[in-house]
Structure 1
Amino acid sequence: MQKSKHYLFMEALVHRIHAHDEEALRFQEEFYRLQAGLAGEMKLKTTLADYFIKSDYEILYNFECINPRGFTHQIDALLITPHFIIIFEVKQISGGLFYKPAVHEFYRVTEKGVEENFPNPFDQAYRHRLFIEQFLQQHALKPPVLYLVVIANYRAKLDIAFESMPIIHLSSLPKYLESLFERYPTTTLVPHQISKLFKSIQQHLPARRQIELSRLKTGVFCRHCEALGPMIFYHGSWH
């Protein structure tokens, strides 16, 4: 799974930020969330690799692009088949998950009873869907474009409010896809050609933040012990 530039930036940042920096803990928490998200995407990739897809298909992971209005899209995975195109929004969240449809509020209650709000994944995926539909229509293509929120953490509990929503646990993904293949008849869509269209607009997005050099520890990390310090030239090699 290819890591985004923002992930690589945050990975370097948490290693180099000074321990006394007032935002060090917040950066570490943000990187933990990115690690969890990447782990969820890897689980999705493994599940799809194990599932026997009944038709030709293409899968694009971590698809990133900028739309004509200058706004970004970052899609965890796109499955392209002759039957449909589906957008996967992967969440690696534990605890009890709840949703208030009237106000589009998505939140969880942790095992300690703490309530935390999260960005609404349905609205995120729906926005991606509108963009993809419009993009394909520019090429005279109108396949069914669907979206699905996939919960990759088996410890998460979904409230009954999700019953009619496009959200499932990862373990039920094969069965869910089987139902989609039965529901949507095959079209003239050629997955390889659609994949080429998407790749023509794909671009890796820059990191979503910047930081002053004065807030970072400089030097070289040892590959063996990860100590940080100056390098010494000794017997013809740098150490």
Structure 2
Amino acid sequence: MFMKEREAPALLEVLPRLMHRLKMEHEDIVSDHYKARAGFGGEQRVDELLQRMRWLEPPVIIGDLQLNERFCQIDTVVLTPHFAVALEVKNYSGTLSFDEQSFHMKQETRDGKFFGYNSPVTQAWNAREELQILFHRLSIPLPVYTAVVLPYSTTLIEKAPIEVPVIYGYSLNRFLSSLPRTGLPMPPQELARAGQLVIDHHTLFLKMNYQNVYRYQLKDLKKGVLCDSCGAVCARKSERVHVCVKCQADVWDGYSQALDDWFEFVSSVISNAQCREFLGLKDKHAAGYVLRKMGLASHGDSVRRVYMR
């Protein structure tokens, strides 16, 4: 059923590491991690609903499709023998109000706070347009529909849009059953081939520049090996093991994890001097040993040599 499985967004793993590494708490990072966790949870909920449906004809489902030409990301694409559907899953709490004139969405949270967002209706509309263009290019003869899906019925809608349906997860089966089934159905082999053609146009998501987004500098980051659990600084216990000075947890391959943080949050390259300073090593020989042990690529002469993953 799922020709392309959904993967957890990188932010779920990366942002906790960044929160540990920063000396001061950044509310925007905490908020973004919450949104990423809620969004992924909502998408998983819709995946479960799709898998539990009684399909007369097995569909092809694609999770997290990224089309690079327009930087168009689609949460879920469902291909059936009669039609295709682009689903945009939005896991919001509280009450939502859609403004058809400004193409804007307002959220009122359960505690009475208001937030404004670009309307997911526009995102769904764009997804449908891009899929239609791609289908035309690939000669896939399926009409394309779209919807915004709210995975949980606890989210309320005060003012619904007209152009694109906004539905609850529990009514997804009814919505799909209501879509027109015209023309000859696409045979299973052709449907699978169409799904693979679409997946062939998927591109990897662009890596985020965390320094630019969250506006921190190298001096704002804690140095050394940090505890996976609590983020406290660790002391060296043996060549491969560090111990957390706060919770006493063992951290394996701490130098490797710390250098991963450097490459993720600071720069794509590192010099011997930077490695020595960031890891708190005693001299250039110790830094060189760690860098060589990680098997990093390098370029430049001995004075200007830098290492990269």
Structure 1 residue 184 and structure 2 residue 181: aligned? yes
Residue in 1 that maps onto 2:241: 238
Q: 1:207 to 1:14 in 2, by over 3 A?
A: farther
Q: Which has the higher contact order (CA 8 A, sep 6+)?
A: 1
Residue 115 of structure 1 pairs with residue 120 of structure 2: no
Residue in 1 aligned with 2:65? 63
Separation of aligned partners in 1, 2:146 and 2:85: 5
Unpaired stretches in structure 1, ≥5 consecutive residues: none
Contact preservation (8 Å) 2:20, 2:226: no
TM alignment of 1:54-203, pairs within 5 A: 54-67=56-69, 71-162=70-161, 165-180=164-179, 183-185=180-182, 186-188=184-186, 190-203=190-203
**CA deviation after TM superposition for structure 1 residue 194, in Å:** 1.4
8 Å CA contact 1:14–1:31 kept in 2: the answer is no
Query: What is the CA–CA distance in structure 1 between the aligned matches of 2:197 and 2:145, rounded to whole Å?
Result: 18
Q: Which of structures 1 and 2 has the bigger CA Rg?
A: 2
Q: Is the 8 A contact 2:99 2:161 kept in 1?
A: no
Conserved? CA contact 1:79–1:86, under 8 Å: yes
SS at match of 1:149: strand
Contact 2:103 2:118 in 1 (8 A): no
Q: Assess, with a 3 A threshold, how the Cα gap between structure 1 residues 213 and 146 changes in structure 2: closer, same or farther.
A: farther
Give 2:138's aligned amino acid. H
- What is the deviation of 1:187? 2.9
Code of the residue aligned with 1:16 in structure 2: it is R
Match of 2:18 in 1: 13
**Residues 102 and 84 of structure 1: CA distance in aligned 2, closer, same or farther (over 3 Å):** same
Deviation, 1:13, is 2.1
- Root-mean-square deviation (CA, aligned residues, Å) is 2.3
* Structure 1 length-normalised TM: 0.85
Conserved 8 A contact 2:160-2:166: no
Match of 2:52 among 50, 53, 57: 50
**CA deviation map 1:127-160 (0-9, x unaligned):** 1111111111112223111111001232211125
Query: Equivalents in 2 of 1:42, 1:167: separation in Å?
Result: 18
Deviation at 1:219?
3.4
Q: Deviations over 1:173-207 (max 9, x none)?
A: 11212222xx2235336321111112212122123
Question: What 5-or-longer segments of structure 2 have no aligned partner?
Answer: 1-5, 212-216, 243-309
**Contact 1:58–1:79 (CA under 8 A) maintained in structure 2:** yes
Return the offset for 1:57.
1.5
Q: Is the 8 A contact 2:66 2:203 kept in 1?
A: yes
Alignment CA distance shift 1:165-1:202 (3 Å): closer
Cα distance in 2 for residues equivalent to 1:222 and 1:142: 54
**d(CA) in 2 for partners of 1:165, 1:134:** 18
Question: Percent of aligned positions with the same letter in both sequences?
Answer: 21
> What amino acid maps onto 1:184 in structure 2?
R
